[in-house]
Amino acid sequence: MKSASAGSRRRRLPLRYLLPSILLVVVVVMLLLRGYVHSEFLADHRVRPAAGTSSVPEKVLSGGPVLDARGDEPVSHRVPDHKIVLTFDDGPDPEWTPKILDKLAEYDAHAVFFVTGTMTSRHPELVRRMVAEGHEVGLHTFNHPDLSYQSASRIDRELAQSQLALAGAAGIRTSLFRPPYSSTVDALDDKSWPVTRQIASHGYLSAFIDTDSRDWARPGVDEIVRLATPQQSGKGAMVLMHDSGGNRSQTVAALDRLLPRLQAQGYAFPHLTEALGAPSPHTAVHGLDRWKGYAFVAAVGVSEHAMSVLVVALAIVGALVMARFVLMLVLSAAHARRTRRRGRGNPWGPPGSGRVTEPVTVLVPAYNERECIANTVRSLMNSDHPVEVIVIDDGSTDGTPEIVEALRMPGVRVVRQPNSGKPVALNTGLQHASYELIVMMDGDTVFESTTVRELIQPFVDPRVGAVAGNAKVGNRHKLIGAWQHIEYVMGFNLDRRMYDMLRCMPTIPGAVGAFRLSALRRVGGMSDDTLAEDTDVTMALHRDGWRVVYAEKARAWTEAPVTVKQLWSQRYRWSYGTMQAIWKHRRAVVERGPSGHFGRVGLPLVSLFMVLAPLLAPLIDVFLVYGLVFGPTLRTALAWAAVLALQGVCAAYAFRLDRERLTPLLTLPLQQLLYRQLMYVVLLQSWITALTGGRLRWQKLRRTGQLEAAPLTPQAVVHAVPVQERDAREQSSAA
């Protein structure tokens, strides 16, 4: 039975990575495919200088521009007199090819388009138009490399991939070919001639040129027309032009003058095989080859659109990240100034101070917390404000309640219940609470001596229903703890300052928070509708009209997860619970009054910054890797460094506000590259769980009990005074 259970766990464990892994593979494949068809990698743009011609037959060098080298003896063909074969290389281009096709149609002229596989797969509709309008299509390789530099297998791949793209775009294959960087046949040499023979062995006619219009150099419309016109009147020619590779406005304008001028001189503009009286180079592709081509072109189309979507998503996440940083910096600074300006003077103070000293009930829900519970209770006994401590044992099986009882501390009670979950445990504690002000903390947390007093200061305002404290990571000495420390200081506490200023605090942390008992009763106590009961009840208080504020000096030290598995479990529950709470309180968006303010300000901010932005944030790293590998490397690195620098500024400011050492920020770059990906996968799994209607239970993390006491600050004077003794002192003082 045990082995079967272990096997089940082994089978289930990869499932949490399955969909994220599939999604990652799909994104990587799409990016690689897009990079390939955009010639961002595996392309070779070297152009070889001329070589000797000893191996090239003389009749080829002096022959016509159309070369048939498929047999033992090569045969050359010339374009007949009074015929001009216009050829266009490097397309199709979405801007210039349609304009060139329009001009050809206007003058009833035909041409040969030597297309690259990359452009064909990206713009298949233009190739279909070429064929439909009676033009011929030839291959110009896939990535436009100088084939004399390439191996025989690379040449074969260039041809095969080009035919694949052509089959997917127009359902045909062609027997016409023009090598990249070629010109007239007399330019063939000992390096290019073997390539020509290899290509011919696959059944291709090689088409060179008689006349180069040099339109690629943009010499001006007059010059293009002059160069494209045969020097001998009535002489036939094959003319090189381009419909891609740059601005081709001069080419379009030159056609508007060249075509009618030469037609007036008796020239016709047929396509190549028509001029030569040869069969069409096009043959239809059917069956599996047709579907393979269609699938390839469709995949390229998906990658093109996916990249557009990813770029838009990157722009969105960039705007969200910048907006969040600006809001956090501006509003956190305003929050700090407001806190300093108020200088409240602690109306709720310790005994003998002359201030209000009504005790506070502290609720500690505990489930199997034997490693931590004693330290938690001892830290409460060191509080400088009178407290009643109620430990609610939620069916622990490790002796947690016995450990608390063995401490024999006055003012500390243990309430037992069957295992029912944290919300039920807290509601049980509320039923036993003796005082109006309720502090809630986790069983793995320790308070400073001043934490309770600082936490209840805002309740002097009767409109305040709940107060969020400052949760800090105690076990920050290892890398994963240091990363969570950065997250707590920068992400959580800086966020709370911002939300405090906007009056839409979304969450009272379970580790350190305080409530009015009357406010909790009005909203029905702690709910188990979601896995984030702290977020749920906070939103409910907002909707009921209560203010929720942040007490930055109310510090609590919590033991953060120490393994990736534990961190996964915790953040999975947090993120899924937050999504549940947002959905539960979605009607606040259309409500009026305080509920409407929270719904139209708080819910959108939480949704953007805690659900949407983290899901898209890894795009920054995806484009970083893509840009570093495929370029532009420098601009990509600078952009990523700028974002990291902005994050560093925000983090440093947050650390300064919390009076923390800046040393952990040295790990910030690594945190952004690794930690963020883990949070992304957790959030993605939360989305999947939400969309599929899954449920999670309250997950227990394994603790080590490393936090024996809270670090002492100069203001943290220890007064271990139990409730009964404090009450006696107060009565004596009053007498």
Q: State the DSSP H helix or E strand holding residue 366, giving kind and residue range, or none if neither.
A: strand 360-366
Phi-psi region of 358 (alpha: psi -120 to 50; beta: other; left: phi over 0): beta
Q: Where are the alpha helices (DSSP H) in 467-531?
A: 479-486, 494-502, 517-522
CA-based nearest residue to 140, from 180, 112, 111, 94: 180
Q: How many whole angstroms from its chain centre is CA 278?
A: 55
Q: What residues pair up with 445 in beta bridges, in sequence order?
A: 558
CA-based nearest residue to 155, from 146, 167, 164: 146
- End-to-end Cα, the chain, rounded Å: 69
Active-site residue (options: 38, 77, 135, 242): 242
- In 387-505, DSSP assigns E strands to 387-394, 412-417, 437-440, 445-447, 464-473
Q: How many whole angstroms from its chain centre is CA 230?
A: 57
Active-site residue (options: 38, 77, 89, 243): 89
CA-based nearest residue to 576, from 701, 704, 413, 687: 687
Distances in whole angstroms, Cα of residue 366 to Cα of each of 189, 440, 456, 527, 562: 85, 11, 23, 17, 19
Cβ atoms of 542 and 599 closer than 8 Å: no
Cβ atoms of 271 and 135 closer than 8 Å: yes
377 φ/ψ angles, rounded to the nearest 5 degrees? -65, -40
Buried b (16+ CB within 10 A) or exposed e, 489-506: bbbbbbbbbbbbbeebbb
Evaluated on CA atoms 516, 517, 519, 523, the torsion sign reads positive
Cα(177)–Cα(144) distance, integer angstroms: 12
Cα(673)–Cα(662) distance, integer angstroms: 19
Instruction: Determine whether 393 is an active site residue.
Output: no
Tokens of 106: 């206007």
Q: Where are the alpha helices (DSSP H) in 284-363?
A: 287-342
354 φ/ψ angles, rounded to the nearest 5 degrees? 80, 5
Tokens of 643: 């974002």
Cβ atoms of 206 and 177 closer than 8 Å: yes
Distances in whole angstroms, Cα of residue 722 to Cα of each of 209, 389, 414, 438: 100, 10, 15, 17
Looking at residue 238, the DSSP 8-state letter turns out to be E
Angle of helix 676-691 relative to helix 564-584, nearest 10 degrees, comes to 50
Cα angle value 529/534/537 (rounded, 5°): 65
Cα(276)–Cα(274) distance, integer angstroms: 5
Looking at residue 398, the DSSP 8-state letter turns out to be S
Tokens of 23: 């999604």
Cα(24)–Cα(34) distance, integer angstroms: 15
Instruction: Give the list of residues 6+ apart from residue 570 with CB closer than 8 angstroms, or none.
Output: 561, 699, 701
Instruction: Determine whether 82 is an active site residue.
Output: no
Evaluated on CA atoms 626, 628, 631, 632, the torsion sign reads positive
Amino acid at 221: V
Which are the catalytic amino acids? 89, 242
